[in-house]
A and B are shown apart, each in its own frame.
Chain A
Amino acid sequence: MDHPSSNTADLDHARSGDRAALGRLLKTHERRVFNVCLRMVNHADDAAELTQDTLVKVVQNIDGFRGDSQFTTWLTRIAMNLAISHLRKRKLRHTTSLDTAGTPALKLAGGLSQTLPQTREPDAYSRVEQNDDLRQLYQALAELDTDQRAVIVLRDIDQMDYQNIAETLEVPVGTVKSRLFRARLALRQRLKPAVTH
């Protein structure tokens, strides 16, 4: 994936109020932001909405960007935070609507609520995926915990190094490695439950 880390000129112009430079900078990163959001929420429309929100936040807060980290890392952090917040809201919404029954007859519905994010109707992008392995992989990725999913997305899809992942998630590098190992192992267990080490 193309890392627009060299677009420092556009960044400087955008911070000085150049709308064209701001547009170029955002268009350079929109695809990456969209894919991160898509793999996090596993829904194209939600991902597009999250991408728009991420771009708006970047424009609103670009004056406050101090350059302590890379612009890509800062942008990805914003997108990841919005995606995680979105997942929490969605999980809370589905969990509270079905788990509050408490009756044995509705235990099935309670269990169903945990699988709703994964059993949503595939969007257009999912339908075009021809690779079943990749689809299964995306499905298994969506079943992971948010932290493990975020590490997998940033490392394998966004192809960020450990240091940037640590800055994005605001955790130590060792935590990133441990989370990544557990995420790969969990992903493997979900794809092939029989496989154990």
Chain B
Amino acid sequence: MRPAGDVATVSVLVEVPPDEAFRVFTEEIDQWWRQGLRYRVGRGRSVIHLEPRAGGRLFESIGDGARVIETGRVTAWEPPARLAFEWRAVNFAPTEKTDVEVLFAPSPSGTLVTVRHGGWSRIRADHPARHGLEVAPFIGNLGMWWADLMTSLRLHAAGHSRA
């Protein structure tokens, strides 16, 4: 069951050992990070980088570095067990950030990788992304990576009558 609070949690079982899962997750991030505007700001050539150290940056480089968009800093670099970084959508104020923690737990068939994305309650209440908006449009406004998905998000929300 989902923990209470403002943390989104997702897990996947990967059939590789933790050290390899950690290395692929970080070193090869651009190779698996999905393409498209739901996931990246850049429409054309875009590369996702994760600098491999605490204090390193997670950023997207567009058009061979013509534009660099920093998502946040690495706050924990503990291979092969744990990685944490800040997550700022492009429309957040400089002081606003959420937190992503990635856990790599050994399992008999490989590694259980868990992403915990929390800290949404710290985004100020009068942020344009939050102000007076209901859930689906608020999400659509969170970052440009969601911008083109407004319609499908609304359809998705409408299709899920959450009791």
Chain B associates with chain A: no
B residues engaging A (CB < 8 A)?
A: none
**A interface with B by C-beta (< 8 Å):** none
